[in-house]
């Protein structure tokens, strides 16, 4: 008997740890294609980029943890094939490993822009430690920086760059920042805050071409016909789920590996968790693929328990997320997507406010900017399933914490 985990990121490592905590006694093999000890990604666009978090502080577990827990960690090894009938995986070097349970925790990779010049030197994505090291090195000498994409990662890099006294241009093809993930008041607040710090935000402008000299980027031409000088370009326009291994093995995938409510793929002995998995959300009543530490960790716990105990339950954890943009802490409980009404709590002008986000008269999410108490109350409220009517939330002096107590 053995469990093989493909991907030694946030989800894979947490799954291995959960299996042992739950008393699983069989062989566990955790396979990751990156050379470093497994690490957390959030600091890559925050403290690590600013030089205030040395590499070893990023490690998810001490190296002794894997040894002491009898978790066989294979670093720098890539799984290239899943043999489902034979219940084996093949590594790039040709080695085969047997499994009774297989867990795919393969994460995601940066979505390519698909425009000319993307392969020039100085045009960098940010997904892994190697990317972050390269970005840090380039940042030290960069004079003109262009960030392509106004999502969380792009804005965190802009914040880090501004805090070092640099001035970046940030291009966002949509009409507002973080448009797929947050409500309009939050987009507007962050646009103003970043502009005040010196980042020049260009909405409705995508990258059309990267221009270069001697193999290195010198400028970005945008879809609105302008040209911005750049000796460093950071690209952050979303990710693609690493679902190919699953697809080659005949498992269903559609913008992520498809799993059922218990996070099992179309083969019940193969599970998929974290950034690579698309699952039916109990809170959103739709299939979603989420990219957050909470999602990776909670899905790992769920799957670890299922494998260790055999008990099949539906995954129902409330999604939550944070983004830290140098003194601007955004926390989201629930999923704001598809909302039709937003109620403000507090004044955006004060730098501290929350939004109550409704869909069809139901509270579906709460976004909080520098109001951590609201975030914690929102998590309790949304997880409890207790109703909050929009008119009650609109009453003068409404207090989320008091309502939840
Ligand atoms: P990953 O962490 O991506 O791990 C997957 C691993 O599998 C990778 O190491 C990959 O190389 C490996 N792999 C893939 N295919 C194979 C194969 N065939 N064989 C072997 N190994 C393979 N989330 C938040 O909640 N808050 C934040 O502030 C935040 N900030 C972020 C900042 C950055 C710069 C990034 C990139 C992400 C951030 N996230 C944040 C998202 C969060 O880090 C991810 O949601 C989380 O890492 C997902 O974990 P995972 O294990 O599913 O995937």
CATH number of the structural domain spanning residue 374:
3.30.390.30
In a shared domain, residues 96 and 121: no
Is the same domain home to 292 and 216?
Answer: no
Among candidate residues 111, 76, 123, the one with its CA nearest the CA of residue 219: 123
The CATH number that applies at residue 217 is 3.50.50.60
33 shares its domain with 73: yes
Stretch 316-341: mean pLDDT? 95
Number of structural domains in the chain: 3
Report if residue 322 sits inside a domain.
no
Residue with the smallest CA separation from ligand 1 atom 27 is 42
Q: Which long-range contacts (CB under 8 A, 24 or more apart) does 47-52 make?
A: 48/132, 48/136, 49/132, 49/135, 49/136, 49/139, 49/156, 49/157, 49/160, 50/160, 50/163, 50/164, 51/136
Check residue 204 and report its DSSP letter: T
CA-wise closest residue to 20 among 62, 56, 68: 68
| Residue 323 domain-assigned (yes or no) | no
Using CA positions, which residue lies closest to atom 52 of ligand 1?
274
SS3 60: coil
Distances (CA, A) of 353 to 74, 328, 345, 358, 387: 45, 11, 6, 17, 21
Looking at the fold, whether 47 and 195 belong to one and the same domain comes out as: no
Q: Which two tokens stand for residue 383?
A: 């997880």
303 and 332 together in one domain = no
Average pLDDT over residues 262-269: 98
- What pTM value is reported for the model? 0.98
Q: 179-227 pLDDT, tens per residue?
A: 999 999 999 999 999 999 999 999 999 999 999 999 999 999 999 999 9
Do 14 and 59 have their domain in common?
yes
Cβ contacts of residue 127 below 8 Å, gap of 6+?
41, 108, 109, 110, 239
One domain for residues 288 and 397: no
Q: Are residues 352 and 295 in the same domain?
A: no
- 3-state secondary structure (DSSP) of residue 373: helix
CA 27 to CA 80: how far, in whole Å? 21
Q: Decide if 394 is inside a domain.
A: yes
Query: CB neighbours (10 Å) of residue 250?
Result: 12
In the predicted structure, residue 332 carries a pLDDT above the cut 90 = yes
Instruction: Please give the pLDDT value at position 405.
Output: 87
Distance from Cα 291 to the centre of ligand 1, integer Å: 8
Please state, in angstroms and rounded to a whole number, the distance separating the CA atoms of residues 122 and 137.
10
Does residue 45 line the site of ligand 1, with CB under 6 A? yes
**Residue 211 belongs to some domain of the structure:** yes
Residues 49-104: tens digit of each pLDDT: 999 999 999 999 999 999 999 999 999 999 999 999 999 999 999 999 999 999 99
For ligand 1, say whether the CB of 7 is within 6 Å of any of its atoms.
yes
* Cβ contacts of 105 within 8 Å, gap of 6 or more: 5, 6, 7, 8, 9, 11, 12, 15, 272, 273, 274, 276, 296, 300
Residue 227 lies in a domain: yes
Range of the domain at 129: 112-237
Residue nearest atom 12 of ligand 1, based on CA coordinates: 7
Residues 47 and 97 in one domain: yes
For helices 184-196 and 152-163, angle between their N-to-C axes, nearest 10 degrees:
20
Whether 317 is in a domain gets the answer no
CB-hemisphere CA count at 13 Å for 90? 12
């Amino acid at each position: 008997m053995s469990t093989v985990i493909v991907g030694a990121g946030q989800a894979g490592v947490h799954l291995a740890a959960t299996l042992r905590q739950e008393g699983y006694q069989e062989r566990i093999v955790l396979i990751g294609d990156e050379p470093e000890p497994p690490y957390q990604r959030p600091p890559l666009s925050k403290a690590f980029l600013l030089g205030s978090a040395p590499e070893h502080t990023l490690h998810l577990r001490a190296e002794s943890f894997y040894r002491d827990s009898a978790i066989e960690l294979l670093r720098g090894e890539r799984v290239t094939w899943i043999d489902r009938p034979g219940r084996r995986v093949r590594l790039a070097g040709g080695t085969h490993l047997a499994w009774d349970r297989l867990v795919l925790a393969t994460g995601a990779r940066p979505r390519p822009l698909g425009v000319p010049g993307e392969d020039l030197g100085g045009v960098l994505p940010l997904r892994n430690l190697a990317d972050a090291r390269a970005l840090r090195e380039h940042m030290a000498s960069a004079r003109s920086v262009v960030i392509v994409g106004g999502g969380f990662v792009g804005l965190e890099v802009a914040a880090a760059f501004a805090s070092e006294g640099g001035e970046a241009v940030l291009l966002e093809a949509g009409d507002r920042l973080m448009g797929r993930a947050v409500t309009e008041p939050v987009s507007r607040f962050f646009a103003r805050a970043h502009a005040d710090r010196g980042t020049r935000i260009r909405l409705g402008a995508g990258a059309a071409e990267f221009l270069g000299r001697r193999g290195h980027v010198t400028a970005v031409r945008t879809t609105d016909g302008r040209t911005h000088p750049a000796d460093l370009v950071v690209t952050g326009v979303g990710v693609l789920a690493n679902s190919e291994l699953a697809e080659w093995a005949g498992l269903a995938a559609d913008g992520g590996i498809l799993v059922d409510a218990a996070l099992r793929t179309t083969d019940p002995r193969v599970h998929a968790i974290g950034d690579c998995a698309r699952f039916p959300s109990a809170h959103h009543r739709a299939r979603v693929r989420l990219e957050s530490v909470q999602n990776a960790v909670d899905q790992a716990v769920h799957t670890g328990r299922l494998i260790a105990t055999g008990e099949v339950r539906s995954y129902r954890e409330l999604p939550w997320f944070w983004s830290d943009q140098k003194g601007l802490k955004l926390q989201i409980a629930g999923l704001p997507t598809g909302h039709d009404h937003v109620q403000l709590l507090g004044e955006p002008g004060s730098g501290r406010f929350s939004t109550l986000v409704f869909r069809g008269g139901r509270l579906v999410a709460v976004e909080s900017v520098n109001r951590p108490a609201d975030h914690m109350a929102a998590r309790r409220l949304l997880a409890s399933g207790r109703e909050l009517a929009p008119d009650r939330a609109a009453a003068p002096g409404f207090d989320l914490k008091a309502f939840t107590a």
